[in-house]
Amino acid sequence: MRIVSLASGSSGNCTLIVSEHTRLLIDAGISRRQILQKLEKVLGLLPRIDAILITHEHTDHTSGLGKAARAFQCPIYASEGTAPLVESLLTGGERLLTFKLGKNFQIRDLSIAPFPIPHDAAEPCGFVIEEESLFQSINKRIALATDLGTVTEEIRKYLLECDLVMLEANHDVEMLLHGNYPEDLKQRILSDVGHLSNEVAGQTLRHLAERGRLRAAVLMHLSKNNNRPKLALETVQGHLNGAEVTVAVAPRDRMSAVFTV
């Protein structure tokens, strides 16, 4: 599989997953024009997308959803709790399909395992995505978990068997506490249904490296005001303490590198 973050942050989120037979977008929080321009750099002119998966209904994950789905003529997948809120953003010409959290579903050669995450949305989720192949003894697995206030034991179990994890590292706690955000917003971000700090991201990735098969991590959804890419990277690498895990940061407003598993 190849993975590219097209955008990651409070101004918009969109991630491309490409397997041998399938092309998925996770979230569509940037404009159709931006999505097309970025996809053409990776996939060439008139790119094909087979489906768009939605993590939750917040606008930085859905603002370009309807137009993108119509442009690609592809279905949208959302959890049963998220679907009604997503439907209100659509014109009616799109195909909206629902899934149950904890129940796998298939899109071509990709098996999708949606799992619940703690965030202040209707029924937010992360995804473990596995490429099924006849020619590998162990299928490759990746996960995306962003917009979560804490990492539960259930989430850790989903992430343990993944080769690459795209995990939120939203803020540095000291920067947030001493920054100029209103106090109620600070408390929302720090809550169990808010956003993940660099420290917790680092602790989680260390756990996965020690007990799972983690080989690469991408730090996602960094705050513009309460974090810095270098700081997030240094904090996480400090927790990994020399483990053989490649760590990168997804830029807020441009494409990441292409990651391969």
Q: With b meaning 16 or more CB within 10 Å and e meaning fewer, what string describes 99-111? A: bebeeeeebeebb
| Average pLDDT of the chain, as a whole number | 96
Whether the CA torsion 71, 4, 160, 198 is positive or negative: it is negative
Count of domains observed in the chain: 1
- Per-residue pLDDT at 6 exceeds 80: yes
Residue 24 confidence (pLDDT):
98
Q: What are phi and psi of 143, to 5 degrees?
A: -140, 150
Residue pair 20/131 in contact by the 8 Å Cβ criterion? yes
Q: What is the pLDDT of residues 64-73, one digit of tens each?
A: 999 999 999 9
Residue 118 confidence (pLDDT):
98
- Per-residue pLDDT at 145 exceeds 90: yes
CATH code at position 47 = 3.60.15.10
pLDDT band (50, 70, 90) for residue 132: confident
Mean pLDDT over residues 222-234, rounded?
A: 98
Residue 109 confidence (pLDDT):
95
pLDDT band (50, 70, 90) for residue 137: low
**Chain centroid to CA 121:** 15
What are the start-end ranges of the E strands in the chain? 2-7, 14-18, 23-26, 51-53, 76-79, 96-99, 105-107, 110-116, 125-131, 140-145, 164-168, 216-220, 246-249, 259-260
Angle in degrees, CA 190, 194, 195, rounded to 5: 80
Residues whose CB is less than 8 angstroms from the CB of residue 101 and which lie 6 or more positions away in sequence, other chains included: 79, 80, 114, 115, 116, 123, 125
> Which amino acid is located at 38 in the chain?
K
| Structural domain containing residue 242 | 2-260
Q: How far apart are CA 20 and CA 162, in angstroms?
A: 18
Mean pLDDT over residues 202-211, rounded?
A: 97
Using the 8-state DSSP alphabet, how is residue 161 labeled? Answer: T
Question: Any idea which residue has 């483990």 for tokens?
Answer: 243
Q: What is the pLDDT of residues 17-51, one digit of tens each?
A: 999 999 999 999 999 999 999 999 999 998 999 99
Give the rounded percent of residues in the chain with a pLDDT score beyond 70: 98
- Per-residue pLDDT at 133 exceeds 80: no
Q: What is the pLDDT of residues 146-198, one digit of tens each?
A: 999 999 999 999 999 999 999 999 999 999 999 999 999 999 999 999 999 99
What are the start-end ranges of the E strands in 13-157? 14-18, 23-26, 51-53, 76-79, 96-99, 105-107, 110-116, 125-131, 140-145
Residue 139 confidence (pLDDT):
87
